[in-house]
Homo-oligomer: A and B are copies of this chain.
Amino acid sequence: MRPNNYFIEYIRSAGLCPTRQRIALAKLLFQGDDRHVTAEELYNEALSEKMKVSLATVYNTLHQFTEAGMLREISVDTNRSYFDTNTRKHHHFYFEKDGKLGDIPDGMISIGKLPEAPNGTKIKCIDVVVTITDSNNDY
């Protein structure tokens, strides 16, 4: 169980004010194991822990944490954004049925040599998503 101070320092070192809401959300996000959450999920979790926070703040905070490099945003489903507390290099399983993400450790997937990025541009990131379905879902 990390002390409150840990989160306050973490937030401050990212260049953000450690407000009540940001501290509370950081606790939910970074207290335990790595997580993959949607804004709505995190908001509901906050509500069910009786935290006083608005949905708008959850969105703002997730984006600010992402900007600050504390989270990584992942596009697997066009309907919602996922945020990953693991910002190390790794890739994802996407379990289509229940809309959940899982990590694929780095090393499991290796990318061969890529074409150069056009002049004036650079590669920002490489995302691999392995989508998993029910095996009886044949076509």
Q: Given A75-B78, A126-B128, A129-B127, are A120 and B108 neighbors across the interface (CB < 8 Å)?
A: no
The answer to whether A104 has its CB under 8 Å from any CB of chain B is yes
Q: Give the size of the chain A interface in residues (CB under 8 angstroms).
A: 40
The count of identical subunits is 2
Q: Given A121-B95, A132-B122, A134-B121, are A109 and B111 neighbors across the interface (CB < 8 Å)?
A: yes
Q: Which residues of B contact A131 (CB under 8 A)?
A: 123-127
Q: Which residues of B contact A117 (CB under 8 A)?
A: 132, 135
Q: Given A78-B78, A78-B81, A126-B128, are A133 and B121 neighbors across the interface (CB < 8 Å)?
A: yes
Question: Are the CB atoms of B108 and A135 closer together than 8 Å?
Answer: no
Q: Which residues of B contact A136 (CB under 8 A)?
A: 120
Q: Which residues of B contact A132 (CB under 8 A)?
A: 117-118, 121-124
Q: Which residues of B contact A129 (CB under 8 A)?
A: 75, 126-127, 129
Q: Given A131-B124, A134-B120, are A109 and B108 neighbors across the interface (CB < 8 Å)?
A: no
In the bound complex, what is the Cα–Cα distance between A110 and B109 (angstroms)?
A: 8
A interface residue numbers (CB < 8 A to B): 75-81, 95-97, 104, 107-115, 117-118, 120-137
